[in-house]
Structure 1
Amino acid sequence: MKLLLSTVSVLFLLSAQAQPNLSFEITDYNFGELNEEGGSAEYTFKFVNSGDAPIKVTAVKASCGCTTPGWTKEEIMPGDSGYVKAKYNPRNRPGRFRKSLSVSTTHGPSNQTLYISGFVKPKPKTPEQEFPILAGDLRLKYRGLNMGKITTERPVEKSFDVFNYSDTIVSLNSLSISLPEHITVSLVQEFLNPREVGQMIVTYDPIKKGDYGYVSDMIELTDNSEESLSVVAVIEEYFPEMTAEELDNAAKLEIIDRSYDFGKVTAGEKLEIEFELKNVGNEKLYFRTIKSNCGCITYEVKNKGIKKGKSQMLKVFFDTSDMSGNQYKSITIYSNDPVAPTQIITIKGNVSRAEN
């Protein structure tokens, strides 16, 4: 009886010790550089069953639909080899990538995770794709020509790439340009040959524009333009370098309680809010302009200037018609305060629809 139990124990011990094991040659593979239009790339991860029991790969789950897995479907005996394949499709996936594949076996998850990585070179664009905006004989990358943040110190120049997609030579003289007084346009090249990329220089004079904050102008380069272009900028007042004493003597805008929460209101209500504007500087404060981010907001201010130590009220009118849900609006004040020439007032709350 003792001998029988001993034999059973040995057999049980041997059975418990008989375990399969997947040993991969490599678990992390880098494809290097792939072309987006070059089709799928494939790599085969090879492994050996280094255990002493048969094993079968039951599933391989990829972390992305861009990766198609494949694997040895047959049972792998101890000492035999198998594989897991990873096929990566780079189409419409430019840039760096790193994906994983989780391997499951007849003995449950194998705790084996495989990785593929690399870099996908973007598919070269045609000139028509790179320059989608038509402007007569020229094509541009963007409909909006953004001059960025500029000051009233001096006119600013910025260059934009253009493409002559026509079959004729384009020169500045051949362009029929409709421009406002504060904007001029020129070509770097005297002549732009057919199918040639060149540069267009936009010169913007903020003094002639006579405005502050976000501004936009529509321009047309030719009479047969299919697209009107917009030239946009954010204009701030220019202040030369000032000493500490000059800064102390300058105008200084202080907004008393610069935010207002109107809570919950019913759509259609017209709200009136007042904000106190105070000049705590030593020179007269001037408002260059006041702008809101919504046509639903209008304002009244009695004077466009505030003397030293004085204040006045800014009346704001907010029309909630055709609104619903959370609202966040802003009013921007541009002044001759050299330290904070741009200051923002915020209005927020929730607008609910009236019940029928």
Structure 2
Amino acid sequence: MKKTFFLSIMLMLGISAFAQKAEIAFETKSYDFGEVKEENGPVSTFFEFKNTGQLPLVLNSVTASCGCTTPSWPKEPIKPGDTGSIKVTYNVVGRPGPFRKTITVKSNSSEGTTQLTISGSVKPKPKSVEEEYPVLMGDIRLKSQIAPKIEVFKGESRTEKIQFKNISDKDVKLTFIGAPKHIAIESNPAVVKAGETGNILITFNSKSIEDYGDRVDYAYIQNGISKKMGEENKITISSNIREDFRNYTSEQKEKSPIVEPELRLVKVEIPADSKRTVTFELKNTGKSNLIVHKMIADKAGIAKATCSKKTIAPGQSAVVKIDITTEGIKYDTYSKVTFITNSYRTPTLVIPVNIKITK
């Protein structure tokens, strides 16, 4: 009986010890900063907690969901009944817009892991004139010297713009030189008052040029900068002219030419500072004429690429010739030749050219 009584006492003590744990209780597990200003720098908040258990509370680790959020926490044990806090700092610099970040707290509490959340929205810092318009050209500052890329279907026109600001104390009237005939360029408004903004309107007319695919053109601003055409007053205009298949009927699609190259990958083993020519056939297996609008060869390792026919009749072939040169090339080179065609199925055909340099 004494043995049974002793075992009962030990069991009760074990259960009591097992029941004694640290407990972590947060006043709140989420915090909304609301709208904060980027120029004011990092923002912080404190998550207050209490050890409501019977044993000391130890925070083993506190980690944030990204490097932009930094937590700091007490490293010493928190006695039963005592309080503590976790400081969370969010770096708003360079992070405009809404945010939501999590902080994971691992401790010796019965809960083990607790997740905290911060949220808010960062109002971007107002940009200076120099930041907003980084390109200086005489009396004006531009957002960019490079116009947005113009994507245009053959036969159509499209307009893009570059915004600028008159930074002088007088009216400015822009004039332009050097634009090719398929590009019209003007200022809107024609006269921009001191301190005000305007737009350089660039209209690309694909009817006025016999070209397809990617191309780059230039125009030059005359605004007390230079009467010459140089880097200091150059506007870069990139474009991509595409065949227009948008209104093709089912019959037109069915009768479209089909491009079938004899090679879909060109592999060449060649010594450095050497030349070699690769030829292969390009066949039209469709039901109407295949037109090769343009061939574009990468400069790396390719001196020239040509096709013996611009128009290939159904069932006929043309010979493609690629002149490869490794002059000045010491290492393996990966290049390509791109065909722009009138094929509905394959308007753009890319043939990779892998050049292996041998000793």
Task: List gaps (5 residues or longer) in structure 1.
Answer: none
Query: Hey, what does 2:178 align to over in structure 1?
Result: 178
Query: Hey, what does 1:332 align to over in structure 2?
Result: 338
| 1:178-257 alignment runs, 5 A limit | 178-222=178-222, 224=225, 226-238=232-244, 241-245=247-251, 252-257=257-262
Three-state SS of the structure 1 residue aligned to 2:186 is strand
- Call closer, same or farther: CA 1:30–1:343 in 2, change over 3 Å: same
Pick from 68, 84, 87 the counterpart of residue 85 of structure 1: 87
Code of the aligned partner of 2:27:
E
Equivalent pair of 1:36/1:91 in contact (CA under 8 Å): yes
Equivalent pair of 1:101/1:113 in contact (CA under 8 Å): yes
Three-state SS of the structure 2 residue aligned to 1:86 is strand
RMSD: 3.1
Equivalent pair of 1:39/1:89 in contact (CA under 8 Å): yes
Equivalent pair of 1:258/1:344 in contact (CA under 8 Å): no
Pick from 283, 295, 301 the counterpart of residue 290 of structure 1: 295
Query: Hey, what does 1:163 align to over in structure 2?
Result: 165
Three-state SS of the structure 2 residue aligned to 1:26 is coil
Code of the aligned partner of 2:92:
P
Pick from 301, 304, 319 the counterpart of residue 307 of structure 2: 301
- Aligned-partner Cα distance in 2 for 1:249–1:84: 71
- Aligned-partner Cα distance in 2 for 1:345–1:136: 43
- Call closer, same or farther: CA 1:44–1:248 in 2, change over 3 Å: closer
- Aligned-partner Cα distance in 2 for 1:97–1:353: 54
Equivalent pair of 1:320/1:351 in contact (CA under 8 Å): no
Equivalent pair of 2:69/2:88 in contact (CA under 8 Å): yes
- Call closer, same or farther: CA 1:281–1:100 in 2, change over 3 Å: closer
Pick from 273, 281, 296 the counterpart of residue 276 of structure 1: 281
Pick from 313, 316, 320 the counterpart of residue 314 of structure 1: 320
Q: Bigger CA drift: 150-159 or 101-110?
A: 101-110
Query: Hey, what does 2:129 align to over in structure 1?
Result: 127
Query: Hey, what does 1:43 align to over in structure 2?
Result: 45
- Aligned-partner Cα distance in 2 for 1:343–1:41: 51
- Aligned-partner Cα distance in 2 for 1:258–1:29: 62
* Displacement after TM superposition at 1:79 (Å): 3.3
TM-score scaled to structure 2, two decimals? 0.83
Query: Hey, what does 2:27 align to over in structure 1?
Result: 25
Equivalent pair of 1:155/1:203 in contact (CA under 8 Å): yes
Three-state SS of the structure 2 residue aligned to 1:12 is helix
Equivalent pair of 1:136/1:221 in contact (CA under 8 Å): no
**Structure 1 residue 116 corresponds to structure 2 residue 122:** no
Equivalent pair of 1:323/1:351 in contact (CA under 8 Å): no
Code of the aligned partner of 1:228:
K
